Amino acid sequence: MSSDQSTPPSSDTVTAAVLLIGDELLSGRTKDINLGYIAEYLTNIAIELREARFVPDVEDEIVAALNALRTRYDYVFTTGGIGPTHDDITADAVAKAFGKEIHHNPEAIALMKVRYEDGDLNEARMRMARTPVGAKLIPNEISAAPGFRVENVLVMAGVPKIMQSMLDVAGPTLRRGKPILSRSVRVESGEGTLAAPLAAIQDKYPDVALGSYPFSENGRFGSNVVLRSKDEDLLEAAHVKVKAMAEELAGTGQLKIKTWS
Amino acid sequence: MSSDQSTPPSSDTVTAAVLLIGDELLSGRTKDINLGYIAEYLTNIAIELREARFVPDVEDEIVAALNALRTRYDYVFTTGGIGPTHDDITADAVAKAFGKEIHHNPEAIALMKVRYEDGDLNEARMRMARTPVGAKLIPNEISAAPGFRVENVLVMAGVPKIMQSMLDVAGPTLRRGKPILSRSVRVESGEGTLAAPLAAIQDKYPDVALGSYPFSENGRFGSNVVLRSKDEDLLEAAHVKVKAMAEELAGTGQLKIKTWS
């Protein structure tokens, strides 16, 4: 794979990490679908997701992960832990990570007063208006309680529909890199057969990342080869080579292999 | 949440992390389903999953994450990067992390010779027999190529069915902790309403972890409260309190709330 993690951020490259917070994700009770959604969303707006971490509802763990990620990547997106219950501690952890005070954000209170009658805006719900001082709100269309942004960290809900709405609000405000273009070639041959010719193409095109992803369909095995690059000419040149490889392999009767690879 | 991450491993507690390797997971092309599966599997065998990380197919990234996790948790499970293509670099990264030599493992070659004819066992497929010296194999029922274990690190495939088969093989060999028991109570009330009484119960039962997970059904909002503890008596006592809380909230006509919380 040609992606170089040590590349410093430039106007061409904007990087990100996702921090997913919640005991329920680590116990297996809740199966996360947010990471895949955010990954695809960021790819579509030319932000490169470089890392993701899942941590429990433990303040020190959230703070440590957040500080490791926010100093390394252009953006960090968090999910979970911003509801009204005692285990919702993300706002406090973010404040602690940045060394900022936490307060009841006046704009968040105003947003919530639109939705809740006075009697319903109890202490627990008011918890959802707490942000580090100076945070910018990230409202959403589903729930009254907003997410928020502190410097390069965007704090979002764990409930997928709410998170997705927050991402729609925040997305247009983010800096974007040069898009990574991609092509995909279906190869009717196991990875063990295509590995050598594919590696030869990879050697020739170091600035095109070639990945191979096996599939199984009706008892037949094959691979989808994915090409990714920021350089359209190089991508097309490599694409031609991979397609030729696929045709050649299909012609050699290598279709009926016995195993995944 | 009452789980204490600083607890040293004891006979009561066996901890784990998962390291998921692959560019395709971070680009969003492949939506991971392995983490949720492993999380549930480990919970069922009384191993506590404490952290998960997703990293790209970049050796330094894999090595750094592996060394951070393997020194901190009793077990680390990796997925992905053990196929025959040039971007399958997990075995090399694991060897590097442990400072071990890598070789063509004779037992792995023997396993693969059962499945492949001599002519088919090309150099690329032989790559799948490479392990750090001294590794124990983790065979599986789907593919000829095995996973492997080095000390407390278990290296598994990324293809879910193969990974699951490897987990079935490795699972019975793992040390287990004292099981975490759990109960769940459906509360027909938003989190903002149940937060205060739930926090009061949590204060009274610090050794029972109480989590609240909102749901929306046919326009009605509610929460599933999950109780988790290793102490059955404490769990039952807290369970009685949460059930009483749920009944009381249902009786106050708080069902028709307007928002998630």
Say whether pLDDT at A131 is over 70: yes
| Residue A75, min C-alpha distance to chain B (Å) | 14
Q: Which chain B residues are closer than 8 Å to A180 by Cβ?
A: 27
B201 interfacial to chain A (CB closer than 8 Å) = no
Lowest mean pLDDT among A236-245, B17-26, B139-148, B246-255: B246-255
3-state SS, A131-159, equals: EECCCEEECCCCCCCCEEEECCEEEECCC
Supply the pLDDT for residue A239. 98
The pLDDT of residue A227? 97
Ranges of each domain in chain A: 15-173, 181-251
pLDDT for the residue numbered B97: 98
B24 SS3 class: helix
Q: Kindly write down the DSSP assignment for every residue of B210-244, as one continuous string.
A: EEEEEEEETTEEEEEEEEEES-HHHHHHHHHHHHH
Please say whether the structural domain A15-173 has been given the CATH code 1.10.287.3510.
Answer: no
* C-alpha distance from B141 to closest chain A C-alpha (Å): 11
pLDDT score, position B4: 45
Token pair, residue B103, equals: 């070789």
Check pLDDT > 70 for residue B139. yes
Exposure string over A111-131, b if 16+ CB within 10 A, otherwise e: bbeeebeeebbeebbbbbbbb
pLDDT tens, B78-97? Answer: 999 999 999 999 999 999 99
Inter-chain CB proximity A192 and B261 less than 8 Å:
no
Contact B5 A85 (CB under 8 A): no
Q: To the nearest whole number, what is the mean pLDDT of chain A? A: 91
Q: B166 and chain A: CB distance < 8 Å anywhere?
A: no
Neighbours of A185 (CB within 10 A): 21
Any idea which architecture A181-251 has in CATH?
A: 2-Layer Sandwich (3.30)
φ and ψ of A243, to 5 deg? -65, -40
Asked if the ipTM is above 0.85, the reply is yes
| Residues on chain A touching B87 (C-beta within 8 angstroms) | 1, 210-212
Interface of A with B in 2-31 (CB under 8 A): 3-6, 23-31
Query: Given an 8 Å threshold on Cβ–Cβ distance, is B228 in contact with A125?
Result: no
Local confidence band at A10 (pLDDT 50, 70, 90 cut-offs) = low
Least-confidence region, from A159-168, B112-121, B250-259: B250-259
**B59 in contact with A, Cβ within 8 Å:** no
